[in-house]
Amino acid sequence: MRVSKYILPTLKENPSDAVVLSHRLMVRAGLMRKESAGMYAYLPLGLRVLRKITNIVKEEMDRAGAHECLMPELTNADYWKESGRWETMGPEMFRITDRNGLEYSLGPTHEEAFTNLVRSVISSYRDLPINLYQINTKFRDEIRPRFGVIRSKEFIMKDAYSFDIDQKGLDESYNAMAKAYRRIFERCGLETIPVQADSGNMGGSASEEFMVASDIGEETLLLCEKCGYRANSEKAEYTRPAAGSKSAAEEMKEVHTPDIKTIDDLVKFFKCEEGMFLKSIIYVADGKPLMVVVPGSREVNEHKLKNFTGALELDLATDEIVQKVTGAPFGSAGPAGIKDTRIIFDISVKDMSNAVTGANKMDYHFSGVNPGRDFAVKEEADVTSARAGDICPKCGAPMYEKKGIEVGHIFKLGYKYTKAMNLTVLDEKGGSVTPIMGCYGIGVNRTMAAVVEQCSDERGIIWPKEVAPFQVHLVGISKTDDETMAVDEIYEKLIAAGIDVLYDDRKASPGFKFADADLIGIPLRITAGKGFFANGELEFKERSGKEILNVPADKLLDTIKEYLK
Ligand code: ATP
Ligand code: MG
């Protein structure tokens, strides 16, 4: 491709709305442009990268035995109603009504659509296992679209759905995907950290997220250097420190604490550590109030709470409900004296002594509170989030934290959709059996952005070989027509040899061309300049390195092929 005939609107300045590196570079390198908030158009150079990634995904999915399909992006509301998600998907799902009043969603995900498809084409255990996938656009009305294509309203996802006759089959389908994902990201030149993720109530190693370590990541990962335990913060467990010998139990006392609401206020007022307080938070779980009690130094982990209670919907209680449950306004709740409301205690609470809690009375707290004596600890669970320094649940070493961008997710779904949508097949004995599902997603555009986040320097992008928009960037620095013709010949030779080459044939200064080459980041730059016109030597430079190699024109193809290997 000749740059003079291409559309390559590179920019020197960062776009003012781009706050992260990948967004800035993807716009500046002429890969994409914003269409409107959370929506991007890909220019030819960007589309090439997107296609390369898509092809890698496709090849590895096919290799793993999955079959490609293509679903409508308008998905029929009837199927969402069958699964119950028409009601539960909330405002993230775009909904549409046609002229006849039929309802659809612009597919944010396709579990229902694929379950329906499989229901219509499969009838026997002999047809299973099967894993179907598509690479297609998804629509999500994200609350905060941001970071360019990392979180956009419209994006391309590879989503796959496996159907197996039993749990053992699902384990195999899932493991095949776990392997395929590792290959995909490796081929994309991305270093990913697979972490255990929240899997609802499927348990075990039923869900893995593929994370790219990055300061702009919206996910927090808990990692153990010693044993390799890795989980996202929704899921990460931690061992509570062994209880020391309890100090002698004090008497529980009511203390007047006017205007004291926050943990910070309490720390100042009682002159003790955050961990000495018990935070009591009122939720509403599937319509019923619920109190959760955790140390003041910890946050409630709502994913863990949801899994433990099995609640489908979990919300913080309104002031009105708090008043009803505790008899006092917000900020005064405590477990002592609460009747008729379910209370769940974090597993660290029972070992505490002489704690401070709300007294369920405006402007009063209790001090000298002792779990077991002053209130019963009936239901205990791990309902707080782990953080850096916490003890690894597997080996006891301290864990550390990293931020990560989620690029892929594999998940053992279970029977949720096949049961709700009544998908059954005949089993060996002529009876009927409900298949078990897994689902597997990769954000293709987000993967592209994650590669840019990971592979760049101060001058621009450094594409890994397999996803680069072109294999070779040929820069011609000719002054005369004869010289230009000589470079054109090199270009034709490369094209004839089947090499994907971007040829900068513009009438511009070498400095300008090199700056663009560095910004665009094609892995191999070949310059035909003075040395070429004088003695037939081309300059080879890898984008990732500094060294310049002089290669005689007759060794050109061999050297490139060696490099591309
Ligand atoms: P997130 O927690 O980032 O919102 P998710 O859990 O909603 O992700 P999934 O439903 O598992 O994501 O989707 C599969 C993949 O699709 C994700 O791993 C991610 O790579 C990609 N993805 C999800 N939402 C977006 C988005 N708004 N823009 C771009 N890619 C996305
Ligand atoms: Mg999401």
22 CB less than 6 Å from ligand 1? Answer: no
Widest distance between CA atoms in the chain: 98
Token pair 């442009």 is found at 33
Predicted local distance difference test score (pLDDT) of residue 260: 84
Give the DSSP letter of residue 189: T
CA distance 369 to 482: 91
Q: Closest by alpha carbon to 336, among 361, 315, 316, 312?
A: 361
Q: Which ligand is nearest to the CA of 138?
A: 1
Task: Give the Å distance between the CA of 303 and the centre of ligand 2.
Answer: 14
Identify which of 23, 32, 155 to mutate to test ligand 1's pocket (most ligand atoms within 8 A of the CB). 155
Would you tell me how many other CB atoms lie within 10 Å of the CB of residue 388? 12
23: amino acid identity, one letter: H
Predicted local distance difference test score (pLDDT) of residue 420: 96
Predicted local distance difference test score (pLDDT) of residue 199: 79
CA distance 333 to 316: 13
CA distance 530 to 507: 16
- Alpha-carbon torsion 472, 479, 506, 459, what sign? positive
With beta carbons less than 8 A apart as the criterion, state whether 277 and 295 touch.
yes
CA distance 369 to 169: 52
Task: Give the Å distance between the CA of 446 and the centre of ligand 2.
Answer: 12
Predicted local distance difference test score (pLDDT) of residue 204: 57
Token pair 């030779």 is found at 493
Predicted local distance difference test score (pLDDT) of residue 331: 85
Task: Give the Å distance between the CA of 443 and the centre of ligand 1.
Answer: 6
- The one-digit pLDDT tens for each residue of the chain (565 residues) are 999 999 999 999 999 999 999 999 999 999 999 999 999 999 999 999 999 999 999 999 999 999 999 999 999 999 999 999 999 898 999 999 999 999 999 999 999 999 999 999 999 999 999 999 999 999 999 999 999 999 999 999 999 999 999 999 999 999 999 999 999 999 999 999 999 998 776 655 689 999 999 999 999 999 999 999 999 999 999 999 877 666 788 999 999 998 887 888 888 998 888 888 999 999 999 999 999 999 999 999 999 999 999 998 899 999 999 999 999 988 889 999 999 999 999 999 999 999 999 999 999 999 999 999 999 999 999 999 999 999 999 999 999 999 999 999 999 999 999 999 999 999 999 999 999 999 999 999 999 999 999 999 999 999 999 999 999 999 999 999 999 999 999 999 999 999 999 999 999 999 999 999 999 999 999 999 999 999 999 999 999 999 999 999 999 999 999 999 8
CA distance 176 to 170: 10
Strand partners, 473: 502, 525
Identify which of 157, 185, 453 to mutate to test ligand 1's pocket (most ligand atoms within 8 A of the CB). 157
289-312 as b/e, with b when 16 or more CB fall inside 10 Å?
Answer: bbbbbbbbbbebbbbbbbbbbebe
Task: Give the Å distance between the CA of 470 and the centre of ligand 1.
Answer: 28
The full 3-state SS of 516-554, as one line of letters, equals HHHHHCCCEEEEECHHHHHHCEEEEEECCCCCEEEEEHH
Predicted local distance difference test score (pLDDT) of residue 261: 76
173: amino acid identity, one letter: S
Backbone dihedral angles phi then psi of residue 293, each to the nearest 5 degrees: -115, 120
Predicted local distance difference test score (pLDDT) of residue 202: 61
Q: What is this structure's pTM?
A: 0.92
With beta carbons less than 8 A apart as the criterion, state whether 433 and 424 touch.
yes
By alpha-carbon position, which residue is closest to atom 19 of ligand 1?
A: 443
Burial (Cβ within 10 Å: 0-12, 13-18, ≥19) of residue 506: middle
Burial (Cβ within 10 Å: 0-12, 13-18, ≥19) of residue 317: buried
| DSSP for 467-518, written as a single string | G-S-SEEEEE--SSHHHHHHHHHHHHHHHHTT--EEEE--S--HHHHHHHHH
151 CB less than 6 Å from ligand 1? Answer: yes
Task: Give the Å distance between the CA of 110 and the centre of ligand 2.
Answer: 14
Ligand 1 atom closest to 218 (CA): 3
Q: Which ligand is nearest to the CA of 157?
A: 1
- Written as six digits, the tokens of 561 are 């092929």
- Written as six digits, the tokens of 509 are 């200064």
157 CB less than 6 Å from ligand 1? Answer: yes
Task: Give the Å distance between the CA of 451 and the centre of ligand 1.
Answer: 16
529: amino acid identity, one letter: G
